[in-house]
């Protein structure tokens, strides 16, 4: 036997085997990366969500920045100038001071109503008339009407457009604005949400907040994937109601507190369509209870 030749054949065989293994490994990594890119999520996590009847229909944020808790407070306003901003004048406007301790004042004229709450929330409603029976509009048209309405009724300074979604009837949109701090929105109960029909703004919910600054040290937030996993673990009976994740946003959580100022933690806001949201604390992974 030619041992030299046999030795060379073995060396060549091992080299070919190594090349093949490297090629197979690279192919598997590429397939895995492609799958994550297509779904925006690790396949194992996606499978875990599916087992809890949760599906994803949005791009998944990848950033996990260092954030701190925010110091946030109410912007209190005199109800009468505020009502004047909505009605143009208080002439012919009925003014009520109801017994409800949560309600500061109510104003009514014809089909329009304005309720001003002690929590800083103002709710304007224009009851639908015959002019709202038909018509259509685009998202851009609805956003323009919403901006013009806010500009005329209290101002739009400090607010940025956050989302525009179809709402109930054809041509009607839910347009949401939020105040931002360092690029992240204040979510939960802040900013302005308007129902915009082809005939104009039918409803406007608004709550003005101010940010005093950060509190405590900055910490790295959990990933959006981890937030979705936490949501899956919190579902007591996932088989009863399927959830479709249509949006996930990192922001600062503000609910309606019985206080003039508070601390707002970073949260992942998870939107499942309509006006349904879940909030996962971006430090602890625990759900924020409304």
Q: How far is the C-alpha of 279 from the C-alpha of 250, rounded, in Å?
A: 10
Q: Which region among 36-50, 64-78, 175-189, 275-289 has the lowest average model confidence (pLDDT)?
A: 36-50
Q: For residue range 86-124, what is the model confidence (pLDDT) as tens digits?
A: 998 899 999 987 788 889 999 999 999 999 999 999 999
* 220 and 259 share one domain: yes
237 to 52, 106, 243, 274: CA distances (angstroms): 8, 41, 12, 21
Residue 223 lies in a domain: yes
Helices 224-233 + 43-51 axis angle, to 10: 20
Q: Which of 209, 226, 251 is the last residue of a domain?
A: 209
| CATH code of residue 241 | 2.40.128
Residue 229 lies in a domain: yes
The neighbour count for residue 214, using CB atoms within 10 Å, is 15
* 114 and 83 share one domain: yes
Domain span at 231: 43-69+213-281
* 56 and 173 share one domain: no
* 170 and 105 share one domain: yes
* 142 and 64 share one domain: no
Q: Which of 149, 174, 209 is the last residue of a domain?
A: 209
Count of the separate structural domains present in the chain: 2
* Beta strands, E only, 99-183: 103-109, 112-117, 121-126, 159-166, 173-181
| CATH code of residue 188 | 3.30.310.160
Q: How far is the C-alpha of 38 from the C-alpha of 113, rounded, in Å?
A: 48
Q: How far is the C-alpha of 3 from the C-alpha of 19, rounded, in Å?
A: 24
The upper half-sphere exposure of residue 279, i.e. CA atoms within 13 Å in the direction of its Cβ, equals: 18
* 196 and 217 share one domain: no
Residue 1 lies in a domain: no
pLDDT of residue 267: 98
Residue 279 reports pLDDT greater than 70:
yes
* Pick from 74, 164, 78: nearest CA to 121: 74
């Amino acid at each position: 036997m030619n041992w030299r030749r046999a030795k060379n054949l073995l060396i060549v065989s091992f080299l070919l085997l190594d090349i093949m293994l490297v090629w197979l490994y690279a192919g598997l990594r590429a397939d895995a990366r492609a799958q994550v890119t297509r779904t925006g999520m690790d396949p194992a996590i996606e499978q875990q969500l599916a087992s809890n009847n949760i599906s994803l229909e949005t791009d998944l944020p990848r950033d996990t920045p260092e954030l701190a808790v925010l110091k946030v407070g109410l912007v209190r306003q005199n109800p009468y100038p505020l009502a004047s901003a909505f009605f143009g004048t208080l002439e012919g406007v009925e003014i009520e001071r109801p017994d409800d301790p949560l309600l500061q004042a109510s104003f009514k004229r014809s089909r329009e109503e304005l309720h001003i709450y002690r929590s800083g929330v103002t709710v304007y409603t224009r009851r639908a008339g015959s002019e709202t029976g038909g018509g259509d509009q685009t998202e851009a048209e609805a956003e323009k009407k919403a901006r013009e309405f806010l500009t005329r009724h209290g101002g739009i300074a400090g607010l940025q457009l956050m989302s525009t979604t179809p709402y109930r009837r054809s041509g009607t949109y839910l347009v949401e604005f939020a105040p931002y701090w360092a690029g992240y929105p204040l979510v939960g109960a802040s900013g302005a949400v308007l129902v915009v029909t082809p005939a104009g703004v039918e409803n406007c919910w608004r709550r003005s907040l101010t940010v005093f600054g950060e509190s405590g040290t900055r910490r790295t937030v959990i990933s959006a994937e981890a937030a979705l996993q936490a949501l899956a673990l919190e579902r007591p009976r996932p088989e009863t109601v399927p959830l479709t994740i249509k949006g996930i946003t990192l922001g600062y959580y503000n609910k309606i507190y019985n206080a003039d100022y508070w601390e707002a933690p970073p949260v992942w806001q998870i939107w499942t369509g309509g006006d349904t949201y879940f909030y996962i604390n971006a430090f602890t992974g625990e759900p924020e209870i409304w």
